[in-house]
Every structure is written in C-alpha cells, then in structure tokens.
Structure 1
C-alpha cells in the first residue's frame, strides 16, 4: 500500500486540494461535482485496490489477479475531478469504470479477472467511504490534511498481509505454506537424487558418486520398484468398443463413419489410454534391459531411474497422461491410471457415457464438454456457437445414488470447491472455517447446454441467488500463478450471500482427479492383494 500511495505525486494531490468541500452535508446541501474529500477517497481507494491485486498474486490461483498501471488509473481519476456537473453516484460509477479500464484494460486474462477487479473497485472505491472506515484489519481511511499525513498513517499500519486483508479465506495462508513446503521437499529430493548413482557406478556427471555396494543396493531397489510397477500395470491392449471399431474402418474418418460427438470423444480417450499404457510398458522394458546390461544407458533411462528413486511419475508418462498439478506420487498416479481405464471400459461396454461420468477421470475433459454441446446442437438445430455449458448441483451426494441419466445433458462427479465451503444440508455455498482443507467435494452435478454466446452471457443468465463460478481442470500447481486449464463450463452454485463475496474470495470449481481412486481400484477383478497393497501403500 505504501508503494502504491507514493504514486500520488504533488500534481495529483494539488488537484485534489484545489477542489471545494461539500456545503452543509448535514442538511443535504452540496455543490455539484466531486469535493476534495471525494478526490482523496478516490486516490486512497484506487491505491488500496492496486496493493490488494499485487498482494493476491502470491496466493497463486486462490488469489488470481494481475498487475496494473496504477499511474494511468490515478491519471483518469485526476481528469475525473473536472466532471463538475455530474451527480455524485454517477461520478463514482464512471470513475470505477474508466479508472478500472485504464489500469487493467490490457491485463485482463479473461472475464473472471475482469469480474474480480470490478468487485474490488466496488468494495473500496465509492462515495460511502467515511472518515474512520476500516478498509482492512490493519488499515482505515481517515480524512487527513496532507499527503504526508496519509503516508505516515500508512507507515504506522501493520505491514504484514494476511488472506482476510485481501478478501481471501484464512486457510489460503495454509495452502500457500503447504505449496512452498511441497516445493522445497521436491527440490531437496531432486538434489539428493542427483548425488546418487544412476544405473552404473557413474552418475549423470560421469564421476563416481558412491561405492560399488551402494550402487548395487540402488539398482536392486529400483529393480524391485520396477517389477512391482510392471505387475500392477494394466495390459497394453485397446479398450476401444468393437462395435465402433467396425463402423470406423481404416479408410474412414470419424465424420465419415457417422460417429456422434460423444462417440468420437470415447474413441479418442481410448486411444490416449492405449498410447499411455504402451509407453509405460515400453519405457520400463527398456529400463529393465539396460539394468541387465543388454542395452546402453541413455538419458531417458537415467531420468526414469531418478523418478522411480523419488517415488514420482516420470515426465515422459505425464506428457501423455491426464491433466495434473505438478509432479504426482507414483502409487497414487498408478491408482489413477487403473481407475481411469476401468471407467473407460465401463463406457465402452455400454456404448454411451455412464449414468454419472467421472469428468476428472478423462484425459481431455474439455473435449467431453464440447461434445455435449455439439450433440445438443444436432438435436435442437441451435448453432453450436450460440451454446454454452453450465453445471448445476444436484441433490445426489454420490454417483451411487443416481438411478438413471438425465433427459438432457449428463451427470458428472469428481468436482471440488476452492475458496468457499459447501453446506451439504442447505445445498448452498457457505463461508469456510478458518482451518481445514482448501477444497471441499461437491455433490453430483448436472451439465447441460444453455443458449449463451459468451461466458459473460452465461454469468448474466445465472438466476438470482446463484454464484457463477469458473471451472478448472486441476488445482494450482506448486509455484504456479494460475489453476489448470479452464474448461468451457460455468458452474451455477446457490448462495445466500451476494456473489461479490465469492468473487473476491476466489471461489472456483476444479475437477478432482483423485475421486474414489482406492474404491474403484479395489473393486476391480483380477488384481491380487499384493498388487493392490503396493498401489495403496506407495502413495
């Protein structure tokens, strides 16, 4: 805040002091145009919004915002001081709109960032900013005689920022600390792995890194993990439904074979699963051959060994896999692989999506949403570009409670809520407690098509008492500034509180890629207790 306030130079402050003061405000009499108090409140509010936007950036996706040109914003405010014939309410509204556009106009990444900034401006830049109003836990607005007095006032306030000062939930701080700790642990594990031996007596640098006994122990440990992973993997066979394969001959494209959009998505998901499992088997086979001395040790094999030593998923596997936030523990990832294959096999056997689709279990969930819109366009004749997808919470707490698919659209599960809490008994958003997890699971959701051209149209179409939330493929990765890829989907979540509360708190829906992994894996036939024991204990 102090750095932002120092942007208010002598010229700006002089323009504010040159203005008149309200005449007999207690009697409701006032001069036209803004007063000196209005100008000071506007400068103070704009600086406060700017400082909040910058401070929220370190909270990654929970505080998603962008840097702005504060000088341009204050310049607009200074020019607005000459609007002497404008009523006060209109003056403040125009100031928020024009100053916001000047400061953030070229910085908005999407409609969600714009909505957040508008909410911050409405909270801190308005005419009802009386003397002594607390704008945060550590700062209040005072009518002071000089710019230096404001500077001293800001300097005397606590300099530490906590999430509640920025409009975020208190547990956002624990999420940030966990992210930093996780990043530090991963860095330490990476450093330790580089000091260990590779497949032979020499490490990556070509220098002897440990004794022959230690090298043998390392190779034996890697071989043990390799054998367990290979035993736990599903077979590298196609899961494509045979009925669709007969229709999709080698000389036909999916369009020529007259496959529906969802059938095309199913085939693509099956192909991606087959490619991933094939690559995992092939890379482990190459590593096994190298460890037996039948093939030279290349960089790929050495990288694979390093990942297996740390219990992480190799990069060559994650490149072909589903969306994820950062490196994944090997055992948990293998559970996800097996569960996703089982989900695809269920879909392929039925020929239509399951009664409740595990949206977070797909390789490309955004393709599934687009396919749903395409099928709606085919059925209704509505142009595809005029449709958007919305997701609404149902009364089903779990997929097992759903007996039949909806007449239109699909049921999905595996969604989590960040930045807010879900009151299951009331079926509404609620403020989250100070502690606890930073994400809570949502009930089964119903995705359907809506006639809306843009995301802004979908937000505007939300019924009264409903918060329109973005939906992301994953949660924030360690050190990332954004969540995962945004889906072409808007979630409508009932709320008694005004939507601006959830906008500022960063409430958003993300797909939960870990949904019911253990239950799904343990219920599948053909897996021995030893194999499942490795999967369930290695994460």
Structure 2
C-alpha cells in the first residue's frame, strides 16, 4: 500500500476485481450486490491513503470515528486497528445505531420462540384449565366466530359489473385467493375439532395445526395460501380481518377505484402496480412493456385527507420506513431518531411513466419495498424518494420500505 513511488493506484481495476470477479460475482441478490459495490466505492479511492474517515457517513456521530492510517507496513495496520477499534458498532458499516437494537431484538425473539417450541407436550389432552387441548379449542372457537361466515360471492359480483378493468381484476383475484384461504381455515378447524371429539384419528397434520395454534403461530397450511408475514397468529388474525374489510368496502362500489388503497392489505401488491401501468397504457396509448412505476410522496398522513382518487395513478398507504425516517416537513429521507425503528409513510401517489421520462432523476433514492422485515424474496418494487444526502448513504444504511410490520 506504499504509494510513495508516485504510481497511481488502479482503484477502478481493483473495484472490478473485488466487486465483479472475486466476491461480487457470487452475490445473487441485486440489492446485496449494490451494497457491496457502494462499500467498494466508499473505501477504494485516493483518500484511503491520506488518513480519511473509515466509517461511512459518520460525520455527525459524536465520539464515533476510525481514521485510516498513513501508508505503512502490514504489522502497523494491524496495530492501528487493535488500538483504535475498541467496540463493535453498526455505524462502522454505515448503519444507524438503531440497527443493533433491531438485531438484538430479533435474536431474543428467535431464542424465546425456540424455547417455547421445546416445551414438553405431554398435557395435550390432560385435565386442568391450561391443557393444550382446552387452549386450542378456545382458539378454534374464536377463529370460527371470526371467519366462519366470511366468503366473497365473486360470481355474483362479476355478473353485476358493467366493465371489468385492470383494477377490478386485481380485487377479484384477491377475493378468489381469500376464499381459498377461508375454505382451508374452516376445513382444518373442523377436522381438528372432530379429532378432539374422537371421531377422527389425529394425523401428523392435525397435530402440527394444534401445536401451531397453541404456540400462537400461523399454521403452515394457512401461511402457504396467504401473504408473507412474520406476525404471531393473534396479530395475523387482526390483519386478516382488516384485509377482508378492505375488499368488502370495495364491493360496495366495484366500478370505482378506492380513493386510497391499503397496499399492505393486498396479497398480490405487484398485480395492483401492474394495473396502474395497464390503465395508463390504455389511457395514453403507451406500450405497456416500456412503462415503470414512479412514486410521489404527499404530505397527507391520513386516508380521510384524500378527497378523490388520483388523476394519474393511484394513492396507496400502509408503508413504513426502516433504517431511516421520512421527514414530512422537508419531504425527504432523513436520519432515524434514536430508538425509532419504523417511520410511517404518508399517502403515496404511484403513477406510470415511460422509461425515457424516468431516467436521469437526481437527488433520488431508489428505495426497495418489501412485504416483511425479512426482506429478501419479499421484494415488491422500488419507490423513488427525494434525498439531500447521497443515495449511497441510504443504501449502506439498509433503508427500505416495509408493507407488513410485525
């Protein structure tokens, strides 16, 4: 690393070797590759050899800093690290200090869940108010009370529709999936009740359902027919009822798009975004495959503040920002407040634009939107959010929008 000879360090070549060949080529997820490349862009530059700050975007962090040493021998680098890095901190990776709280919380939840799953199950049918069977029977009765009569008459709705456009197709698809899920819930509940009554032999599937309900977990057979979620069963049930309510409200006036759509309440939110593009393509005679969605964040936090549907897209709500916060005053992404893990987003207008109009937008962070905090395969789309800070700052901070916060 001694640059005293005057030769220029080939940073671009090094970034390509590390980012595309040695390490980056093994990263499958596009967003993970973006993070890796931003780290390389931050570190691999001439300033690295001139005692620069090594913690990304840590200028406003008090008492947290790590400066790069002047070019020296390998042993001196190790000594510099041992002396100057005392404690681990998320700030070293460009993350907010809240990231450690979130990490420790997830660890604790996973540990307690494991402990709960390892509890003995010998009291399945024993007496006493706390037996597994009695607790599960109470849950079954509660679920039947909530969902026993729920069902959407999709055929009747379709017959009464004068025109079935893209938005109608989305909501009808949602109701079809809801009906399948509701049928499975009722079927499995009644089957388990027959097992408790001695009229059916308890199968492995019934045993698994029973223990899931007992541990307040969403049963696997229900989860695979539903939406991605990290919620407990009790929270999932409340969320399920809210989703049904949104569809029931839409059936009151199925010919019209709701003023604001609760995107988090859709099983297939991507279908809704596709419908926005389809409607715009039909209206403006655009080619569908040359359209993408763009987002404009309003200053309205409540649905009631919206008086009419969007004229050039659709209003959505239900997103929460993780890793940073949305400042409704500046209408930009800002640094998180201490211990504030999620920041609710205002109503957002999603509209379709052509690829030509979408290109070259400065001062914008392409924020990934995920269904759950697990992120990964639950990605939905990218939202365009205004920012004064470099977009790389929010990439390294892991800033994302989550539709279903558990």
The answer, yes or no, to whether TM exceeds 0.5 is: yes
2:121 aligns with 195
Matched, 1:415 2:306: no
Higher-Rg structure is: 1
CA distance change for structure 1 residues 475 and 241 in 2, over 3 Å: closer, same or farther?
farther
**SS of aligned partner of 2:47:** coil
8 Å Cα contact 1:420-1:431 kept in structure 2: yes
Shift of 1:392: 1.9
Partners of 1:346 and 1:461 lie apart in 2 by 40
Partners of 1:385 and 1:110 lie apart in 2 by 23
More displaced stretch, 212-221 vs 406-415: 212-221
| 2:136 equivalent among 213, 222, 227 | 222
8 Å Cα contact 2:366-2:382 kept in structure 1: yes
| 2:146 equivalent among 212, 232, 235 | 232
Q: TM-score, normalised on structure 2?
A: 0.89
8 Å Cα contact 2:276-2:313 kept in structure 1: yes
2:370 aligns with 472
Partners of 2:301 and 2:205 lie apart in 1 by 44
1:521 aligns with none
CA distance change for structure 1 residues 485 and 461 in 2, over 3 Å: closer, same or farther?
farther
Equivalent positions of 1:505-520 (< 5 A) are: 505-512=397-404
Equivalent positions of 1:35-184 (< 5 A) are: 38=9, 80=10, 92-93=11-12, 95-97=14-16, 99-136=18-55, 137=64, 139-158=66-85, 160-184=87-111
2:180 aligns with 275
8 Å Cα contact 1:418-1:440 kept in structure 2: yes
| 1:339 equivalent among 222, 237, 242 | 242
8 Å Cα contact 2:320-2:405 kept in structure 1: no
Matched, 1:492 2:357: no
Shift of 1:424: 2.1
**SS of aligned partner of 1:440:** strand
CA deviation digits over 1:354-383, x for unaligned, max 9?
Answer: 110010101111111122222222222322
Partners of 1:239 and 1:497 lie apart in 2 by 50
CA deviation digits over 1:151-195, x for unaligned, max 9?
Answer: 333344436431101100000000001101111111111111x53
| 2:333 equivalent among 419, 426, 429 | 429
Partners of 2:227 and 2:323 lie apart in 1 by 24
8 Å Cα contact 1:373-1:389 kept in structure 2: yes
Shift of 1:483: 3.8
Partners of 2:17 and 2:137 lie apart in 1 by 64
Partners of 2:157 and 2:211 lie apart in 1 by 42
CA distance change for structure 1 residues 343 and 145 in 2, over 3 Å: closer, same or farther?
closer
- Identify unmatched segments of 5+ residues in structure 1: 1-15, 23-32, 39-79, 81-91, 201-211, 248-256, 477-481, 515-539
8 Å Cα contact 1:240-1:348 kept in structure 2: no
Partners of 1:507 and 1:308 lie apart in 2 by 34
1:185 aligns with 112
- Identify unmatched segments of 5+ residues in structure 2: 56-63
Aligned length: 397
CA distance change for structure 1 residues 234 and 287 in 2, over 3 Å: closer, same or farther?
closer
1:378 aligns with 282
CA deviation digits over 1:490-530, x for unaligned, max 9?
Answer: 2121222222211211111121367xxxxxxxxxxxxxxxx
CA distance change for structure 1 residues 285 and 152 in 2, over 3 Å: closer, same or farther?
same
Shift of 1:215: 9.7
**SS of aligned partner of 2:384:** strand
Matched, 1:301 2:220: no
CA deviation digits over 1:255-280, x for unaligned, max 9?
Answer: xx984222222221111111111111
Partners of 2:106 and 2:321 lie apart in 1 by 18
More displaced stretch, 443-452 vs 212-221: 212-221
| 2:291 equivalent among 387, 393, 396 | 387
Matched, 1:287 2:192: yes
Equivalent positions of 1:348-363 (< 5 A) are: 348-351=251-254, 352-363=256-267
